[in-house]
Structure 1
Amino acid sequence: MNNIQPLVSDSGTVLKLEDKIFRIQNGDERLRNRIITNYQPFIKKVASKVCNRFIDHTMDEYSIGLFAFNEAINQYKDTQGTRFLTFADMVIRRRIIDYIRKEARSAKNYYLEQPDVDEEGQEESYIEQQAALQYYEEQQQIQERLEQIEAYKELLAEYGITFKVLSKNCPKHIDARENAKQIAKMLVEKPELAQYLKEKKQLPIKELLQFVSCSRKTIERNRKFIIAVALIHLGGFTALKPYIEPESIE
């Protein structure tokens, strides 16, 4: 059972994790230590999922995850449009995968230096290692894509949008979709508009009209689609980027 008491603001409200992260970035090292201690089970869980086996505090993968969690604390920004734990999960995964790749390369080089192994055995071992590593990376990519989709689904829900609703509100014509994508891209490139979207959970339509040539009616008709595309940009959902790339007209 975690006995760490929740941190409260001056007004007496319980601080969100993201607010605590910003306090740490402003120099609260005692809070950093509390957060890292509090989220050690989270770090172990992510490391175990990446490695597909139980990881405890004595293993190198856990140490890598611990450093990565601290790195995530330092690098997190509210402009990313995603929750801190989602961002931390991604950083931990990347660092552990980098570590596994490095270890795989080291193991390969060590094996090839052994004098008692014949060339055929070396070649077979190398091919097996490469095939295993490729399969592992493919599985990690699939897992990362699924987790990003789930995180994106949760983020959309905060704006009252579901995948079913989004499919119904997707513009039918390519030119209309491309126009909506451009509006979304322009929105996220302007900090004040992106901040409005994140705080109000609504499009800043009045402000958008100052930068686009389409009508208010067009923006309102494609409102949910524009928000959905903007959130992919803001959330850094790299696995979903193909869905917002320009489409070619046959």
Structure 2
Amino acid sequence: MDPKLLSKENRNSFIESNKNFIYKIAYKICKRNLTWQNDDELSIALIAFNKACNTYNEKKGNFFSYTAMLIKNSLIDFFRKNQNTPYLIFDNTKIAEDDDNSNYIDFKSSINKYEIDCENQNRAQEIALFSQELKKYKLNFSELIKSSPSHIDTRNNLLNLALSCLKNENILKYIKDKRLLPISQISLLTNTNKKHLEKWRRYLIVLILILSSDEYPYIKSYLNIKVGEKFE
């Protein structure tokens, strides 16, 4: 089934029949009850679902896993741009549907070998593209593995520091133009110790590059970011 081929009437019916799926994905990301009448998050999720219908092809793998990724990324972008941006944390759980849902097939059982091969190919292309960008900053994946924090609290703290940088146009422009992290400027903005920023300089640059671009949906999905509470 290719959603792009549906007529307008059938498209509307298809979307309506999957509103339960859309709600569940939004709920798992927002971690709170939502209502269709009052919450922008559900409108964002609905738009992302319709976008998935327009952009999906079989090379993108299972339709619903692809759609879940678009909804997740759209909501993250919405939170980032919103003035009252919720803090983000890394999530080790996977988005999954309930067993009794008959509107879509189980993510794991539905992805066959061909779809997995296609997803792996797309992921490899995305990683290759990101590797080329990292070279501009004199970084590579080997260094990143060595410089990545192992403690979850540190990762969450750095994620929110990166989020603060993304909301500051001057800092983001400096990073893109100079290919460097403006330590002093970020320290003043976030009230963070310079030594801490310098220690995680490489990791922060990578987070900022990933979150500021729409070119890396697989890498964003791999990070498993969700809305959470502010860390003191």
Which bracket does the TM-score occupy, shorter chain normalised? 0.3 to 0.5
* Higher RCO (CA 8 Å, separation ≥ 6 residues): 2
Structure (1 or 2) with the greater helix fraction: 1
- Bigger CA radius of gyration: 1
TM-score by length of 1: 0.44
